[in-house]
Structure 1
Amino acid sequence: ALRMVDENVNGFDPYIKPVNENELREPTDKRMFVLAAALKQSYTVTKLYELTKIDRWFLEKFKNIVEYYKVLESINSGSITHEILKSAKQMGFSDKQIAVAIKSTELAVRKLREEFKITPFVKQIDTVAAEWPASTNYLYLTYNGSTHDLQFPGEFIMVLGSGVYRIGSSVEFDWCAVGCLRELKNQHKKTIMVNYNPETVSTDYDMSDRLY
């Protein structure tokens, strides 16, 4: 989520902001990075709960991320194993984030991951709470799977969305994707929409054949 909102951050990064207890008390868009720094400096979950009032369940999850970040920092690019890399991907670390931790490059990590055959699986979002088999075209990628939920016959055209919007930007950016999808549909082409902004027309369930 942090990477989606700001392409300039690598995720739950403990090196962006220094520890400041006053900043931990005040909820802001930068507090997450102060929290990461505090966990890196061994602040306890109890202490952080007292400062932030963030539920302990979430604090434990954040702690797991930082603890694994320490594991990655303790090894170098030449000694990272299949299990360590797979666990990092399952926890949500990006290739770039892993590369920074092990002092390598994003391209090298990606190449190693592909050599290890660590690739994501495509799953369908269950919108009916398992009452009957889901048939929606809402799809996502995960490293915590073992099989794909659908087949890949080919002959699809992928349309890339413009992602998150900030206040002051315009919906015209999304309308470009919508116009493209509609024209492809008029030409009887099957479409894939890739976008991470859920509150847009381009991500409506009936706009494309497959929505990531």
Structure 2
Amino acid sequence: MDPAVKAAIATIPEDAWEMIEYTDSIRDEATGQLISKAEVAEVAFTAFRSRKKAERVDGRLVVRRIPDLNPNKVEQPTLFDVYRHHAFFTTTDKTTMGTVAADKTHRGHAIIEQVHADLKGGPLAHLPSGVFTANSAWLVLAVIAFNLTRAAGLIADRAGRLARATTATIRRTLISVPARLARSARRITLHLPEAWPWQTAFERLFTATHAPPPAAAS
């Protein structure tokens, strides 16, 4: 959001904004709140204008705006709506990808980049090795572990923090648990930490994964 981008956004007429609703709510980067709707518009934009003419790039500035709901920013109601803007630049022709489609594609890229960051902070930090087949096998195992870990977090805490937590957080809270196994009378007892804040989530996950299989339909 440099001065050139802000100036370009200011030229977008009010009737150019188009309302969109998200099937899956997205999390606002600034406030952390879940957003189910927003407005999008676009304006022609030239990138790298400080360079010589041959190096400038013409394209589109696609902008998503949402109401500023940060209560610490405005102490009293304002006379007009206050918005925060999120913009990105693309050279894709509008006839190929409209404003709404471009915004959807951009949000999809943001999601996969979060997955990449999660994997790079875990098993992919050990890549690459000098053997291609070893890299391939390690990547497959990393993705399997990632999917299972995220599924565990969702089962354990569907409406809470673990449902959207990174795999590192799930490993720390549900997997790397300072527990102890005890055997008595041919039974195994798992002793978990006392006053453990993740007890309810762990019990929910344990119950779901160790439940008997569903009865076959007759």
TM class, shorter-length: under 0.3
Q: TM-score, normalised by structure 1?
A: 0.21
Whose RCO is larger (CA < 8 A, sep 6+)?
1
Look at both structures and tell me which one has the larger radius of gyration over its CA atoms: 2
More strand by share: 2
Q: TM-score, normalised by structure 2?
A: 0.21
